[in-house]
Amino acid sequence: MKQYFITGTDTEVGKTYVTCQLLQAAQKASLSAIGYKPIAAGCEQIDGEWVNEDALNIQKACSKIRANKAIKITDNNELKSVNENNEESGQTLPLHQINPIALRAAIAPHIAALEEGVALTFDEIAKGLDELNAYQPDLLLMEGAGGWRLPLTVGDEYTPTYYLSDVVKVLKMDVILVVGMRLGCLNHALLTAEAIRADGLTIKGWVANDITGNMARYQENLHSLKAMLPEPLLAEIPYQVAPNDEVLFAAIKQIS
């Protein structure tokens, strides 16, 4: 089994979209795949449960579960059946397992947690990861919130004392970096990559995600990133267009 932490150069750079694309591509490649978003801020209450849209999308992209094990799909017809919630093909993972910490306010999670009386702890995050690992998926993708240095706990005057990156360090997970392709991405990507390496972790690769569709000198910026980041470009995701399966299969081959 392979597991990775998905981080981004900033918030709103498409981490969830990339996570879902990789999960679905893995299943098309006959691998079982589960996504995990331990912390999500910005939820609405549905049937008594706080629901985050990103977490819901990850839930839909995950492999189904049968006999307490993630189902491995062998052909696209079976994948279509499973994704249409055919109960005979397996059960959908409960949302609370995919997103155990759902914060109501769409603000910095450590501030929302403080206001809502929720503890953001290593134990809670690791426990959720262990529960999903018990399903024995071939691939598990844990998506962060915000960027690499996301505060979890704070001391006096909201001073951060522990970060989500500290959790990833303890878990010793390899990292996939999502680069939001917009003005400033060169600096954001280089600083994020430097921070990940300084934490002693491996960047398995990075994904260029076109989040605006109108970035000036897009190709020139992409070439600069390729030259400056030693890690491989796993995939290039076009703006509001589903990426080519072959591109995603190549990415899955590199991380599976």
Q: How far is CA 5 from CA 126, 144, 156, 182, 197, in A?
A: 13, 7, 29, 22, 14
* 37 flagged as catalytic: yes
Considering the candidates 2, 15, 37, 169, report the single residue annotated as catalytic.
37
Cα 100 to Cα 110: distance, rounded to the nearest angstrom: 15
How far is 45 from 101, CA to CA, in rounded Å?
14
Q: How far apart are CA 32 and CA 149, in angstroms?
A: 30
Distance between CA atoms of residues 254 and 119, nearest Å = 36
Q: To which H or E segment does residue 90 belong?
A: none
Q: Which residues are annotated as catalytic?
A: 37
